[in-house]
Amino acid sequence: MVSTPRSPHTGPGAPRPPCLRPPVSASQRHASLETRLQQLDQHSQAAAQQLVQLLSKQNDLLQERQSLSEEVERLRAQRERELETSRKRENHRSDVRHSPH
């Protein structure tokens, strides 16, 4: 005799087909749906709160990035001015050394 593997949907703990399930009253179904709606509402609120937090963090990071970009630009301009001043001093020294006395 060859044994046939049992389906996970058979046996004492398996769900019954819809035609064999005991009828559910309208009030039970309503309560079940109400509970499910509350769960979905809680999940939606948590997801919305998380989204607000992420958007706030993104805004903070964008502002920080803008500030850092401005600081980098200010430092570049300062460096350029210092290099220009240094070049002028060097040219002036060179001119003084090579000028006839």
Q: Is residue 91 part of a domain?
A: yes
For residue range 33-67, what is the model confidence (pLDDT) as tens digits? 999 999 999 999 999 999 999 999 999 999 999 99
CB 32 within 8 A of CB 25: no
| Helix (H), strand (E), coil (C) string for the chain | CCCCCCCCCCCCCCCCCHHHCCCCCHHHHHHHHHHHHHHHHHHHHHHHHHHHHHHHHHHHHHHHHHHHHHHHHHHHHHHHHHHHHHHHHHHHHHHHHHCCC
Domain that holds residue 59: 39-98
Q: Is residue 21 part of a domain?
A: no
More confident residue, 12 or 85: 85
CB 15 within 8 A of CB 9: yes
Q: Is residue 43 part of a domain?
A: yes
User: What total of structural domains would you count in the chain?
Assistant: 1
Q: Is residue 25 part of a domain?
A: no
